Amino acid sequence: MYLEEHDDAQITPRAVEHEGRSALLLAGDIGYAKFCDRAVEDVVACIGRLDILVNNAGEQHWNDDIRDITDEQLKPTFQTNVFGMSYLTQAAVEHIAAGGAIINCTSVTMYEGAKGLLDYSATKGAIKTFTRSLSENLIETSIRVKGVAPGPIWTPLNPMGGAPPEKIATFGESTSMTRAGQPNQVAPSLLFLACDDSSYMSGQVLHPNGGTIVNG
C-alpha cells in the first residue's frame, strides 16, 4: 500500500516476485476509513486471508517553533500516523486468525522527544500506547500486537520535508554509533515480530536505533 509514488511502488512487487511470490499494489490515503476498508477487502479477495498487518505509514514535518504548526500540518500528521493505523487495524482485525501479528512502527522520538518534531513525536507516543493497549485488547484472540521504534533511518521521509537541510547533513550522528541506519537494518526486527519465533511476545517494542538507550 502506498500513497501516490506510482513509479517507486513498482520496485516492491519486482522484489517480491523475484522471491517467487506475488504482490498486490494498492494506492490511496490510509487517513480515510473507506480506503482502508476497501484495501483490506481487496487483499482478502486476492490472497484469501490475512496473517500479518504492518502499520508503517508516516508523515513528518519540521518546525523550530510550536507556533508554526498549522492546522494544515497538524491534522494530516495525526490523520496519517494515528487515524490511519486505527482505521487499517479496525478493517483488518476480523480477518487475522489466531497466531497472526499486528506490528506498529513508532519511533525513538517517542522516547527521547524531538524539539523540531513536536506533532510527529506526539503521534509516535500515541502509537506506542495504542500498541500496548491493543495487545491487551486482543490477547485472548491469540493475535500478537508489537512495535518497532527505529532511530534515524535513511528514508525519503527526511529529505522530503521531514528535516531541514542542515539537519540532513548530520543525520544520525547523534546516535551511539554516530551514523544513520538503513531500512534493511530495521527489517529483521519486523520479520522477527511477524514470525512464530516471537510467539511469546506481545505488547513489546524493539529498538533498532543505533545504540541509543531508551526505557520501554
Task: Print pLDDT tens along the chain (216 aa).
Answer: 999 999 999 999 999 999 999 999 999 999 999 999 999 999 999 999 999 999 999 999 999 999 999 999 999 999 999 999 999 999 999 999 999 999 999 999 999 999 999 999 999 999 999 999 999 999 999 999 999 999 999 988 777 777 788 888 888 898 999 999 999 999 999 999 999 999 999 999 999 999 999 976
Torsion of CA 53, 26, 125, 102, to 10 degrees: 0
DSSP secondary structure code for residue 159 in this structure: I
Extended strands (E) in 65-154: 96-105, 144-148
Does residue 88 contact residue 40 with C-beta atoms inside 8 Å?
A: yes
Please list the residues that pair with 205 across neighbouring strands.
147
Domain segments of the chain: what residues? Answer: 53-206
CATH hierarchy code of domain 53-206: 3.40.50.720
Does residue 144 contact residue 101 with C-beta atoms inside 8 Å?
A: yes
Three-state DSSP state, 97: strand
DSSP secondary structure code for residue 204 in this structure: -
DSSP secondary structure code for residue 27 in this structure: B
Please list the residues that pair with 176 across neighbouring strands.
none
- Nine-digit cell at 59? 508523515
Torsional class of 6: left (φ above 0), alpha (ψ -120 to 50), beta (otherwise)? alpha
Three-state DSSP state, 150: coil
Does residue 189 contact residue 148 with C-beta atoms inside 8 Å?
A: yes
Look at residue 191 in the predicted model and tell me its pLDDT. Answer: 97
Q: Which residues are catalytic?
A: 120
Look at residue 216 in the predicted model and tell me its pLDDT. Answer: 67
Distance CA 99, CA 101 (A): 7
- Nine-digit cell at 78? 495525526
Torsion of CA 121, 123, 129, 130, to 10 degrees: -150
Which pTM value belongs to this model? 0.94
Extended strands (E) in the chain: 50-55, 96-105, 144-148, 205-206
